[in-house]
Structure 1
């Protein structure tokens, strides 16, 4: 299947009410496909919210991104596909400053870093039970040391994170020191 066919198959699956942050809809996507602006059409599709996109829909977008050699878009669609299966965890993360012992390099935005998190669980012996989750920085290529930004978390063991609640504070660790504090802003179960 070629890119326009993939986009044409994906577009009808989206309800007309779905929009992105700029207010674009699936009608805008169709216009871009008709004008052979496939990359923009794909970006719009990948960022339409407000509807339960399933794994099959994300598979179409991943295949289209790979055919266009858009590796960052394909990676983002893989993240969203994972969320369609396991649920969404969004948080506002504040990194500890370098002066206070925080990390010296930025967190890459594209889901590369998988730090440890204390999400409130403890081992029978009483020490913290740290969990692993991949970080995606939203709307930025990276999160600099000491900065605050919105992130999405993709836990290694999603079932262990099911007790999280909105407004809960969790801590990010690289080794034992706390490297950041995150407040949960959104949590949803799988669709």
Structure 2
């Protein structure tokens, strides 16, 4: 990709979402294409998101905008950025959860290698639901680790979860303690920090 050129799809989508001021119209506090382009071409989309949220009051972009950004990233050969945008589209369509997760050390759980942080893993979670016989009914949610490509056993990080069946997570609220499973053993413990409804609805903090 030529880093001297702007990807028109990206900038057009961000302007359509009312997140960018044109260079010619920007004031000292506005976010302009020049402010974010260096991060975009160097595949630092999470940094860009933080800038956009600071300047636009934590916007909840609709899934269509995120899918458009994902397509632009794919055309620009930015696979990690594309994965991040697809992830955010899934968050916009479904209930999503942010939590602080601590993995069990290698000797206390099944996992002995680092956990991939970019939305690949879909572990099971004990969020308090029960089967008809009273046994725990675990629920699946995809996992993205904020700011880290991997999370090693025994490590701690803030993670983002997208439930496979959002209605089953309706009771989960900030402060709740939930357990991660990759098998019958507990692989990690998490404390819920925030629950976000689909884009356009108010989050629970």
- For Structure 1 versus Structure 2, the TM-score category normalised by the shorter chain is 0.7 to 0.9
Mapped partners of 2:105, 2:39: distance in 1: 42
Counterpart of 2:184 (choices 171, 176, 184) is 176
Deviation at 1:36, TM superposition (A): 8.2
Cα 1:123–1:57 change in 2 (3 A) is same
Cα 1:188–1:95 change in 2 (3 A) is same
Deviation at 1:166, TM superposition (A): 0.3
Partner of 1:146: 154
Cα 1:38–1:189 change in 2 (3 A) is closer
Conserved 8 A contact 1:3-1:38: no
The gaps in structure 1 that reach 5 residues or longer are 18-24
* Structure 1 or 2: more strand by fraction: 1
Deviation at 1:100, TM superposition (A): 2.4
Counterpart of 1:135 (choices 117, 128, 143) is 143
Partner of 2:96: 88
Cα 1:189–1:10 change in 2 (3 A) is same
Quick check: 1:8 aligned with 2:11? yes
Deviation at 1:133, TM superposition (A): 1.0
Quick check: 1:115 aligned with 2:128? no
Partner of 1:69: 77
* Secondary structure of the structure 2 residue equivalent to 1:65: helix
* Secondary structure of the structure 2 residue equivalent to 1:128: coil
Q: Deviations over 1:21-69 (max 9, x none)?
A: xxxx8724x1157x78851597254443201201121122111101111
The gaps in structure 2 that reach 5 residues or longer are 22-28, 200-205
Cα 1:103–1:41 change in 2 (3 A) is closer
Deviation at 1:178, TM superposition (A): 0.5
* Secondary structure of the structure 2 residue equivalent to 1:121: coil
Deviation at 1:15, TM superposition (A): 3.8
Conserved 8 A contact 2:69-2:85: yes
Conserved 8 A contact 1:10-1:57: yes
Mapped partners of 2:170, 2:162: distance in 1: 12
